[in-house]
Each structure stands twice: as structure tokens, then as C-alpha cells.
Amino acid sequence: MPQRPVLNKPDFVRRYQAGEFGNASISWPTVPAWNLYDEEKGGDSDKNLYHMRNRITGGPTIYNLHRNELKRFAKSSWAQRPNWYVSMMAPTHKTVIQGEIRLASGGLEVFYSPVKLPMRDALLDPLATTLRGLQAVMLLRGQMDPQSYDWIQVLLEEYPGHTVEFSTYQDPWGTLADMGYRTVIWEVRLY
């Protein structure tokens, strides 16, 4: 049964952080929430990189922040703005493919890149390309773990007309890594 459409970025972020779309990056709803997590961990978060994400469509994203950079940012008045949230930085050096999937009039369509950069940068690379129909299916089946491919199909069915942003990595990563998911869903959108 189709789910309520995702018509804007703030609605998407709220639903994303509630786990509605499956395997995701570990995230915190605000910079102060991440700061509390960091304080509880006592600096254990030193081994991770983070990125600042934006609840505004087309808004900036800041990649590869070390803990100390994020701590400094957390003290600024800019970080208190409600449009920012924090996610753990994905292992981009282990990217297999990433891109956008949708059901078009001719069947499955994937605009993707194999480039090992954050998605916004990777999709601007000349290696980014579009495959349709059986070629798209074969690419995704060949690169994704079976449960991730099946989950993408569920998302496309439950959110008709939506675009699904994804990244597939060499190893399991994200909120469902312990279940073997190698594909992270970054966004499900109709906007």
C-alpha cells in the first residue's frame, strides 16, 4: 500500500531519522544532540568523520568534519539553527556505486557513479551515467547485496513516483549494518 508522499526536505528528514526508509547513516537531529552524544562517549567519536546535513532542499552540506571541527562548530550560533543535523560520514573510499533510482515510463532508471567521492561530487563527475530497463536492473543486482536490492524495490512500490538516493559500499555500513546491508538510503523524495 503506498505511503504518504515525501513532498519536502523537512518532512523527509523527520521520517528519515525515524527510520522509515531503511538503512541510513547514523544521524543526530541537531548539532547539540551530537554534542551530547560526544560528551557521553568521552571523545570515543575521534575515530569517526561527520558531515553537516541541511533540512533545506539544495542547502549546503559540509563533509569530512573531524570531531574537533564539529565541536568548534557546535559552539557557534550558526550551529543552533534548526535546519542543520549531523550524520556520520560514510566510508566513501569503499563506494561501489551511488546515485538515484526511479521508476520511469520505460521501467527502472538509475543515474549513478562509481566514483569514490561524496554523492553530490560523484554525480557531477564525467563517469556518472544513466541506465534504463534491464541494464539498470542488471547493474543494481550485480552491485548491491540482495536485501538492499529488494528493499529498493519495496521503496519504489510504496513511494510511487519518488526518487531514491543510495550509496552501496564494499562492506556493511549504516544503521542496519549488523543485518548485512551494504546500501544506505540517503533520500526518498517527490520534491
The CATH number of residue 120's host domain is 3.30.470
Distance of alpha carbon 29 from alpha carbon 33, whole angstroms = 7
Distance of alpha carbon 106 from alpha carbon 40, whole angstroms = 50
Per the prediction, the chain carries an average pLDDT of 93
Instruction: Kindly give the pairing relationship between strand 163-169 and strand 95-104.
Output: antiparallel
Model confidence pLDDT, tens digit, residues 46-98: 678 999 988 988 888 889 999 989 888 878 877 777 888 999 999 999 999 99
Let me know whether 35 and 57 are in one domain: yes
The DSSP letter of residue 18 is: T
Quickly state the pLDDT bin for 45 (edges 50, 70, 90): low
> Among 37, 69, 88, where does a domain finish?
88
Let me know whether 66 and 127 are in one domain: no
Model confidence pLDDT, tens digit, residues 128-175: 999 999 999 999 999 999 999 999 999 999 999 999 999 999 999 999
Quickly state the pLDDT bin for 42 (edges 50, 70, 90): confident
Distances (CA, A) of 189 to 7, 16, 21, 59, 147: 7, 11, 11, 15, 21
Global pTM value: 0.92
> Among 37, 57, 88, where does a domain finish?
88
Let me know whether 177 and 135 are in one domain: yes
AA letter at 132: R
Helices 67-74, 31-41: axis angle to 10 degrees equals: 130
Let me know whether 64 and 100 are in one domain: no
Residue 175 lies in a domain: yes
Residue 151 lies in a domain: yes
Let me know whether 114 and 162 are in one domain: yes
User: Angle CA(57)–CA(168)–CA(33) in degrees, nearest 5?
Assistant: 50
Instruction: Kindly give the pairing relationship between strand 50-54 and strand 95-104.
Output: unpaired
Distances (CA, A) of 19 to 25, 78, 158: 10, 27, 15
Let me know whether 65 and 148 are in one domain: no
Quote the domain boundaries for residue 114.
Answer: 92-189
At 44 the pLDDT is: 64
Distance of alpha carbon 13 from alpha carbon 140, whole angstroms = 25
Let me know whether 59 and 130 are in one domain: no
Let me know whether 49 and 117 are in one domain: no
At 93 the pLDDT is: 96
Let me know whether 50 and 126 are in one domain: no
At 40 the pLDDT is: 87
Look at residue 24 and tell me whether its pLDDT is greater than 90: yes
Distance of alpha carbon 74 from alpha carbon 42, whole angstroms = 16
